[in-house]
Amino acid sequence: MPADKSKTRKQRSSDAGTSRSSLKSLGSSAGTPFKQDADFWFEDGSLIIVAAKTGFCIHKSVLARLSPVFGDLFLVAEPDDVSASGLPVVEVSDSADDFKYLLHMAYDGRKYLQDMEPHIPFAVLSAVMRMGDKYEIEDFVDEPARYLGHRFLTDFQDFWAYLRRQLIPVFDFSDTPAADMIEVVQLARLTGRYSLLPLALYACCQLEIDEIVGGVKRATGETVCLSREDAVRCLRAREELTKRHFSLLPTLRLADFADECPFADEDGSCRGLLANLEDETERCVFSALPTDALVYPHDYLAYLTESVFVKDLCDYCQARVIGPIVSRHRLVWRELLDILDLSPGKLGFTLTGGECPPTCQCGGCHRGTISSA
């Protein structure tokens, strides 16, 4: 089974043993006070589960069928752990919101998330994914990971389409997107969905250094932190990304009019525009975030193709300027795993689509695509 798909059977068995050995600590006595949840309190329910003082009267068979952890949990519940209605009561350590998201998935299936598109809250995806991992419900991990994969991509053409806003968003980040980026790294590590890691770690490289090292605080007061290993990985990657960002300067300083340029000898035409382009490039590159070496080339191209510096060049000279930038952009994509110190062998996948097509001469073949960005 690929490393990116799920944990290995041996890992799941080990995790299950750990979970089941601690189930007795989750048992609840009938005296535990709780309020009834308005949505998940079925009159024909066979079990009450209490999460953070909120009670859910549900059908034991529904959860036991989905999760071996729940199956064992229900077996551990003592016969005298009953409510006033005579139903067994089991307490879990999850928050009420997280457990309710899990119940929505259990009873409503994929429709629960589909009905919220394209504005699925990130918190819902994160909670379902974590709960799916905890209770060994693989579909509950796969489905949120699929939605997150629309943003944390592994193919250059998809990434290019995302930058050009051609991919329709399917979920919304929270009011603290920096914390969300860190949480995606945590989710990828927790569940083995490593395909989310490259762009999530890249996004973390754009954070302030104190956020990379000390975490980001949410409005709730919770601080979301990278592991020490990933924090060091991001700090080191920032240096490499900065080098690649400034490599745009010599690329454009060497730009000259094309051999085929029909205006090479005319005053104020391509030759003059290219001379002015060097100063404009320095201004733009030095004013940009230096660690954003993967996104900035696209943004810079979008600016250039609408500016007088490139717009008034002949087609041949436009291709001469644009081609090396596109080539540099693809190169950063190809090198991203190395920059982030991620091993394709350990991850079980590699980034794709960064190679130039066979017809590419680092110029004209990309011009139409970039001009419409």
Please indicate, yes or no, if residue 136 is contained in any of the structural domains: no
The residue ranking higher by pLDDT, 77 or 279, is 279
Torsion, Cα 251 290 298 216, to 10 degrees, reads 160
Closest CA to 180 of 195, 199, 161: 199
Q: How confident is residue 347, by pLDDT bands cut at 50, 70 and 90?
A: very high
SS3 readout for 208-240:
CHHHHHHCEECCCCCEECCCHHHHHHHHHHHHH
* Model pLDDT, residue 247: 84
Q: How confident is residue 261, by pLDDT bands cut at 50, 70 and 90?
A: confident
Please indicate, yes or no, if residue 104 is contained in any of the structural domains: no
* Helix axes of 68-76 and 9-21: crossing angle, nearest 10 degrees: 20
Domains contained in the chain, number: 1
Lowest-confidence region among 38-42, 237-241, 290-294: 290-294
Please indicate, yes or no, if residue 213 is contained in any of the structural domains: no
Percentage with pLDDT > 70 across the chain: 82
Q: Which domain holds residue 365?
A: 238-371
Q: Which residues pair with 48 in a beta bridge?
A: 57, 89
Please give the average per-residue pLDDT across 339-365, as a whole number.
Answer: 79
Answer whether 113's CB lies under 8 Å from 147's CB: yes
pTM to 2 decimals? Answer: 0.86
pLDDT tens-digit series, residues 358-371 = 655 444 344 333 33
Q: How confident is residue 268, by pLDDT bands cut at 50, 70 and 90?
A: low
Position 12 pLDDT exceeds 70: no
Please indicate, yes or no, if residue 162 is contained in any of the structural domains: no
Position 5 pLDDT exceeds 50: yes
Tokens (6 digits) for 39? 């949505």
Percentage with pLDDT > 90 across the chain: 59
Please give the average per-residue pLDDT across 306-310, as a whole number.
Answer: 82
Please indicate, yes or no, if residue 161 is contained in any of the structural domains: no
Please indicate, yes or no, if residue 267 is contained in any of the structural domains: yes
Please indicate, yes or no, if residue 79 is contained in any of the structural domains: no
Lowest-confidence region among 20-24, 239-243, 271-275: 20-24
What distance in Å separates the CA atoms of residue 197 and residue 207, rounded to the nearest whole number? 16
3-state secondary structure (DSSP) of residue 256: coil
Position 79 pLDDT exceeds 80: no
The residue ranking higher by pLDDT, 292 or 286, is 292
Please indicate, yes or no, if residue 174 is contained in any of the structural domains: no
What distance in Å separates the CA atoms of residue 270 and residue 272, rounded to the nearest whole number? 6
Q: How confident is residue 181, by pLDDT bands cut at 50, 70 and 90?
A: very high
Answer whether 172's CB lies under 8 Å from 121's CB: yes
